Chain A
Amino acid sequence: MKLTDVLETTKIEPHCGMCKIDFLGTGVCPAGKKHGFVAYWPEGRMELARALAENEVQPTPALIDIVNSCNLCGICDRQCNFITQRRPTHVEHALNDYVKTLKPNTMKPAPEDDVVKDLRAIVGNDWATNDPIIITSYVRSIIKQKSTGKFYIVMPKSTEEIVAIVQLAEKYKIPYLPRGNGTFFGVVLQTLLAEPACIEQGIIIDLYRMKDISIDPEAMTATVGPGVTSFELQTAAHAHNLRANVAEAESHVCSNAQNLGIITTWSNTYGWGTDNFIDAEMIDPTGAIMHLSDKEIPNPYASEQGLLSLSLIPTVIVTQLTLKLHQILEDEEAIFVPFANLPDALDFAHNLARRNIGISLAVISSKYLTEFISPTHEVAEGFNYIAKKYLKLNYIVDVICDKYDKKIIESLAEVSFDKTMIKSLILGSSKIASMKDSSLLKMISEEDNPLKAVFGGPLRKHFEKGLAASPKELVKVFDEDLREFFEKLYSKPEMTDAVWLHSFRILPSRMERKHMWMYRGGYMPGDKKTILKVVDALEKPAEQYHIEGAFGFLSYLERGKLAHLEYDYYYDHTDPDARKRVNKAIVESWRRQFAIKGVTPLEFICSKGLHRKEHILYPFPAGLSKDELGHFEELIETLFGSEDTW
């Protein structure tokens, strides 16, 4: 197999980083776990294969070591197939065949320089490198493609080692940038925001090895190092029957907290930003260690607003975070309330938010619902088609609540899905997707309220029965050699338990299995009028530049006083024209969002996650005047050049 045979697969590799966590109970890639550097993980091998196929890097002896370290155990195929339908072992076969064509004596190791020698003196020989092959595996997930800078990768094990690395960077006058799992970079680096987000040369501090985690069940807190992922923290918390408010499974807790403040569907109850934290240990650019709890430091919460407050690079490295954990109630259950249109869904959800009903509460689109719960993108598209066209199921008010709140919601909702129906939708997703030509569904779609017709009466039982939902049926969409594994997997209760899935968040990466996406949206007042204005401000640019745009999810804060909205632009990041269009749509969405009072676009939250929301979101931004929007245009041109160069 040639590298070019797998080029299409490797080019669209989204760098989701899910291969680094044991989310299916298979264990993780043994080579990655042993060596740490991204190059040894499936996602890194894919990036290497792409770069070699496109002649962006020349092989060094490290390539032989990386290829030989893979024992083709197949763990990555199960993990990656579950999320993105890819087969990393195919890429490994191609790399194996490629390596056989090389003459080892023609390859030269990267020459050592003083910086790498000094880095090795700090972390040990195995954990610092300037080898271009290893560096290449970080391309598109912290380094821009075709970057010409000189880079080093270092993997510290302790806060003291990071201090020494920061001081070394200062000594050599070179930049440094910490890297968690690279998922934020994986998305942003495909857009015009790449330049302000990436490192153009210098030291990449890969925090993977710093996995210390401790739970204090009495205080209900967790203290984590910067290498701990959301999934790992949630697993540790659940062992004590506690829940952490965490981002997507693969994200590193410390970096996500610092970068985005941890945005979840649980925010109406658990809050955002510092609502979740007890303390943080940080290293500043001089190498000084400080804590949020220190008395003699500048106000850590002070924050700027406005266009010049944008910063995608944090000023400090968070090396430890102590978070609040929350009790899990014994009667928690998921309930979904379907809606044909967004205003109705917002009314319903806001009413619950104001009354503090539900622990996790969100409005999600049918796009999210179907993409997350369907085993393949094709099934998701088919399911979404049925949902929208026949069932008029466009939005879901998605609630995790106790038995008391469940009764209230059921009494308020015309139609709702309980845990049994949710399980049927998950296991029956491929069956639903296959019903495009169903004459019964066509007939139902002509009803005034198809949702009520299907789910609100006696037809519901027949619908559920007709789905014949079972793991055995569902896994027919997977490759034949993986079906037995997936049948066992989908037989596990958690795989169809919406409460578990909302806590562990292993499904969101599925949204990038077909194409790349770009997060739009941000924070705003929780009233329906503002939210609909913002949705329109995000929808219009997508239409204007022919980008697929879709509402993602909306969650509330402070009993519905504030809301967070995620709206996504989906595009093919390997297509230069699509990238240009998405860049134009991003800028246009800023223009439109900035004109709305009270709206803080997501980018302007970046790097402020450790702040109090009160310092960032208040006072509500007034909405830019015409003159100010003119200056905004000038700023954009100064930062990114003229539109035709994007």
Chain B
Amino acid sequence: MVKYLSEEWATQAKKKVLEELDMKKDLKNMNASLLNVVQNVPPDQKTVYFYIRFVDGKLEELLTGSDESIKGKNAEFTFTGDYTTFMQISSGQTSSAMALLKNRVKMTGNKMKALTITKPIDTFNACIAKLQTEY
């Protein structure tokens, strides 16, 4: 069991994705970088950043933390929302697209491109949802 958004969780999540997902079939050879801004993370309600970058379908980076270096990553897309919502996405209870529809997260970035990565990002989230995680 690993703590959600911890460094250990990030390491294991990246390993799982690299092991289990096919770059072409599952991740559609996507080139994209996303910064999730997770607000109100318990216990002290601080903001945690969760950054991912794919190159030709390969997960090159999966970083989490509160430091400015992650916040400053030059991501194509930024998703901002509450801890509860990201917890639901990362545990497979809902999809990021549904969270967007329900106004639970705000997105910045090119919407047309976002449409092309909806499915592979959903597959990515379904994969990390299988990690034994403590929320």
Q: Is A1 an interface residue (CB 8 A)?
A: no
Known: A173-B40, A634-B118. A639 touches B111 (CB 8 A): no
Q: A315-B103, A639-B98 are in contact. List 12 more A-B contacts (CB 8 A).
A: A175-B104, A304-B111, A308-B107, A309-B111, A310-B101, A313-B101, A313-B102, A631-B118, A634-B118, A635-B118, A635-B119, A639-B97
The reply to whether B119 and A306 form a contact with Cβ atoms under 8 Å apart is: no
A residues 147-171 near B (Cβ < 8 Å) are none
A residues 192-243 near B (Cβ < 8 Å) are 195-196
Please give, as numbers and ranges, the residues of chain B lying within 8 Å of A628 by CB-CB distance: 112, 115
The reply to whether A173 and B122 form a contact with Cβ atoms under 8 Å apart is: no
- Which chain B residue has the least Cβ–Cβ distance from A607? B103
Q: Is B75 an interface residue (CB 8 A)?
A: no
Looking at the assembled complex, report how far the CB atom of A194 sits from the nearest CB atom of chain B, in whole angstroms. 12
Which single member of B40, B83, B98, B116 contacts A631 (CB below 8 Å)? B116
The reply to whether B115 and A307 form a contact with Cβ atoms under 8 Å apart is: yes
Give the total of A residues in contact with B, Cβ under 8 Å.
23
Please give, as numbers and ranges, the residues of chain B lying within 8 Å of A195 by CB-CB distance: 98
A-B contact pairs, 13 of them (CB 8 A): A304-B111, A308-B97, A309-B111, A311-B100, A312-B102, A314-B103, A315-B103, A628-B112, A628-B115, A631-B115, A631-B116, A631-B119, A638-B122
Q: Is B95 an interface residue (CB 8 A)?
A: yes
A residues 305-331 near B (Cβ < 8 Å) are 306-315
Please give, as numbers and ranges, the residues of chain A lying within 8 Å of B40 by CB-CB distance: 173
Interface residues of A (CB under 8 A from B): 173, 175, 195-196, 304, 306-315, 628, 631-632, 634-635, 637-639
B residues 52-104 near A (Cβ < 8 Å) are 82-84, 95, 97-98, 100-104
B residues 30-64 near A (Cβ < 8 Å) are 40
The reply to whether A308 and B100 form a contact with Cβ atoms under 8 Å apart is: yes
B residues 2-22 near A (Cβ < 8 Å) are none
Looking at the assembled complex, report how far the CB atom of B129 sits from the nearest CB atom of chain A, in whole angstroms. 14
Q: Is the interface of B mostly helix, strand, loop or mixed?
A: helix
The reply to whether B115 and A311 form a contact with Cβ atoms under 8 Å apart is: no
Please give, as numbers and ranges, the residues of chain A lying within 8 Å of B101 by CB-CB distance: 196, 310-313, 639
Known: A637-B119, A638-B122. A306 touches B98 (CB 8 A): no
Looking at the assembled complex, report how far the CB atom of A603 sits from the nearest CB atom of chain B, in whole angstroms. 10
A310 CA to B97 CA, complexed, in Å: 10
Size class of the contact patch on chain B: 20 to 34
A175 CA to B102 CA, complexed, in Å: 10
- Which chain A residue has the least Cβ–Cβ distance from B104? A175
The reply to whether B103 and A313 form a contact with Cβ atoms under 8 Å apart is: yes
Please give, as numbers and ranges, the residues of chain A lying within 8 Å of B116 by CB-CB distance: 631
Looking at the assembled complex, report how far the CB atom of A199 sits from the nearest CB atom of chain B, in whole angstroms. 9
The reply to whether B95 and A638 form a contact with Cβ atoms under 8 Å apart is: yes
Looking at the assembled complex, report how far the CB atom of A368 sits from the nearest CB atom of chain B, in whole angstroms. 31
Please give, as numbers and ranges, the residues of chain B lying within 8 Å of A309 by CB-CB distance: 111
User: For A306, A628, A631, A632, which residue has the most chain B Cβ atoms within 10 angstroms?
Assistant: A631
Ranked nearest first, the 8 interchain pairs of A and B with the lowest CB-CB distance are A634-B119, A196-B101, A638-B122, A308-B111, A631-B115, A638-B97, A635-B118, A638-B95
Known: A196-B98, A637-B119. A306 touches B103 (CB 8 A): no
- Which chain B residue has the least Cβ–Cβ distance from A285? B103
Please give, as numbers and ranges, the residues of chain A lying within 8 Å of B127 by CB-CB distance: none
- Which chain B residue has the least Cβ–Cβ distance from A304? B111
Q: Is B131 an interface residue (CB 8 A)?
A: no
Looking at the assembled complex, report how far the CB atom of A565 sits from the nearest CB atom of chain B, in whole angstroms. 24
The reply to whether A635 and B97 form a contact with Cβ atoms under 8 Å apart is: yes
- Which chain A residue has the least Cβ–Cβ distance from B40? A173
Please give, as numbers and ranges, the residues of chain A lying within 8 Å of B83 by CB-CB distance: 173
A635 CA to B120 CA, complexed, in Å: 10
- Which chain B residue has the least Cβ–Cβ distance from A199? B102
- Which chain B residue has the least Cβ–Cβ distance from A174? B84
